[in-house]
Structure 1
Amino acid sequence: MDEVDGAIVGLLEHDGRLTHHEIAAAVGLSRSAAATRVHRLLSSRQVVVRGVVHPAVLGRGALAHLGIVVAGRSAPIARTLAMRSDVAFLSLTSGAHGIVAELRARSMAEIDRAIGEVRGLPDVVGVDTLSYVEVIRDVIGPVGEVGVTIDDTDRRLLKALQDDGRASYVDLAAAVGLSAAGARRRVVRLVANNVVRVGAVVRHSGQDRQSALGLGIRLAGPAEPVIAAFRAMPAAIFVARVVGRCDVLATVRAFSAAQLVDVVDEIRGLPGVTAVESWVHLDVVKENYASGFPE
């Protein structure tokens, strides 16, 4: 993936339904050249474009981040955890926790039961939990309050977007029994009201130049100034206010260790930041936010 590919992926992360013409204009290519690159990226399966539905719409409005301490090898435990439907994200990491995971459930009572089950796994010797208060930024999913009630047609449309975020309006219309114009109006409405976010998900491999770093940040005083700084930080792809051993949970990415050092130093220097815990995402085992709808 070269710099132009990286720029295209960045555009698709922001809006996975950009046309080839819009992508071409943004990166300085012809429409045909942009279309060829997009097709290559998607065909490789390294980049997929999906509609990610707001967890509250899916009946999974309770979120928690788990830092799992293991005795021995972490990969077998990760494989077991990856089979759980309430685990949306799972990564093997450096640092004190061999595994980090994001749980999504209907209630904090379900989160509590799930944590108990994780603690009971062989070779799991501890689970540190952060409960989400508010997701501020997510390069993958929608954030904020859901602004509209959905109906059965919306649900069918959302399922189609989960399968293929770049499906044409003609194809979406055929899947849900609408006109192309009607499908387009509904998609625009669902995106505008935080029901769904359509964007690219990059499936990183050990050959990627890009690195992701998880951060747990402790604060002295109010969180708002630090949150405002994160909003202006392009490297921050996930930011949430949390309750637990730290106050802000973030993920930052960069293309070199030097860039990561600069980003972390910038964060350490923010007024109100008292400590920064970090871990490298060595291998993302699961990243699946396309959970089904409650019956």
Structure 2
Amino acid sequence: MLDTTDAALVRELQHDGRVSYQRLSELLGISREAARARVQRLLQRGEVRIVGIVPPAVAGITTVAHVSLDVAGAGRPVAAMAAGRRSTSFVSCTAGPQSVLAEVRVADGAALEREFAALRAIPGVRGLEVFRCAELVRDAYSPEVAGLRAGPPPELDAADRRLLGLLQLDGRASFAALAERIGLSQPATRARVLRLLEEGAVHVTGLVESRALGVREAAGVGLGVRGPVRPVAEAAATLPGVNYVATGYGRFDVVCGLDAPDRSVLLTGLEAVRALPGVSRSESWVHLDIVKESYTYDLPID
């Protein structure tokens, strides 16, 4: 578990992964050297990773689906094979109606159909149940996301895309190091990075190892909704513990992800989601083993 100061550092890094040590010093009331040492210790222990999260549309991803895999026999081998697909961003073994759940992110509907075919072909898979996302109201690790139906993403040239690829790997890389990799001057590189941040092409954040935060439980819940769906999704996104909300069609109208320090808190979160006005039915599942969780995309780095 993190101590009070480290927890405060983590919150600031989640908000802005490129925040300066001087600013951290001012915010937390510690010396600049102490702020640097604490951040470096968190990074070295693997409790925090600073990465650039690129919104799906910016990376050319316009189609997202949650796929529940009906498995005959053991789920772990199926989950491992699903996790090996480049298109899967999240794969888990669950306690719920189906034993394996995967989130698939691809460029378009045709690519999605190809992924469905590949998942069906995994030995042991008897069939799929699909929730296709219409809009990501709250995406994992990103405080705000543009919906999948929103306007066009920022226009990017080759240098911009290389910068995004590098920031996905190391969100705190110095402007000098980035400039050397993309072959531009440091001032030009700094201007590009600031523009990409301002335009929402990337959000640099601290990804925290769940157990360092005391998170021991994770679950998902699918909702059926009476009437307008968006108000229910927006309300769910404000609830404590909810880290992911998507609207869509198929099995559900809304899908949410939650985490909690223990089963009691998890149950409280699930009950709060189920009790939202407009919810007509719900189905939940507990993530017993998160096999894959990756929100990076294939972007050039050289």
Question: After TM superposition, is the score higher than 0.5?
Answer: yes
The correspondence of residues 3-22 of structure 1 with structure 2, limited to 5 A, is: 3-4=3-4, 5-22=6-23
Q: Equivalents in 1 of 2:230, 2:77: separation in Å?
A: 40
Q: In the alignment, what sits opposite 1:186?
A: 192
Amino acid at match of 2:126: V
Helix, strand or coil at the partner of 1:51? strand
Tell me, yes or no, if structure 1 residue 273 matches structure 2 residue 273.
Answer: no
Amino acid at match of 2:138: R
The correspondence of residues 177-256 of structure 1 with structure 2, limited to 5 A, is: 177-204=183-210, 209-256=215-262
Q: In the alignment, what sits opposite 1:156?
A: 162
The correspondence of residues 1-295 of structure 1 with structure 2, limited to 5 A, is: 1-4=1-4, 5-141=6-142, 143-144=145-146, 145=150, 146-204=152-210, 209-293=215-299
Helix, strand or coil at the partner of 1:166? coil
User: Is the CA contact (8 Å cut-off) linking 1:14 and 1:139 kept in structure 2?
Assistant: no
Residues 156 and 49 (structure 1 numbering): CA distance in 2 closer, same or farther, change over 3 Å? same
User: Is the CA contact (8 Å cut-off) linking 1:218 and 1:275 kept in structure 2?
Assistant: yes
| CA deviation string 1:144-169 (max 9, x = no partner) | 14542001110111111112111112
Number of residues of Structure 1 aligned to a counterpart in Structure 2: 294
Helix, strand or coil at the partner of 1:56? helix
| CA deviation string 1:13-46 (max 9, x = no partner) | 2322122233344445433333222212211224
Q: Equivalents in 1 of 2:7, 2:213: separation in Å?
A: 15
Q: Equivalents in 1 of 2:28, 2:100: separation in Å?
A: 37
Give % identity: 38
Q: Equivalents in 2 of 1:211, 1:202: separation in Å?
A: 15
Helix, strand or coil at the partner of 1:250? strand
Helix, strand or coil at the partner of 1:57? helix
Amino acid at match of 1:47: V
Cα displacement (A) at 1:207: 11
Q: Equivalents in 2 of 1:286, 1:56: separation in Å?
A: 21
Residues 206 and 19 (structure 1 numbering): CA distance in 2 closer, same or farther, change over 3 Å? closer
Residues 57 and 128 (structure 1 numbering): CA distance in 2 closer, same or farther, change over 3 Å? same
Cα displacement (A) at 1:203: 4.0
Cα displacement (A) at 1:136: 0.8
Cα displacement (A) at 1:131: 0.6
| CA deviation string 1:126-145 (max 9, x = no partner) | 21111110001123356214
Residues 7 and 278 (structure 1 numbering): CA distance in 2 closer, same or farther, change over 3 Å? farther
Helix, strand or coil at the partner of 1:284? strand
TM-score normalised to structure 2 length: 0.88
5+ residue gaps, structure 1, are none
User: Is the CA contact (8 Å cut-off) linking 2:179 and 2:186 kept in structure 1?
Assistant: yes
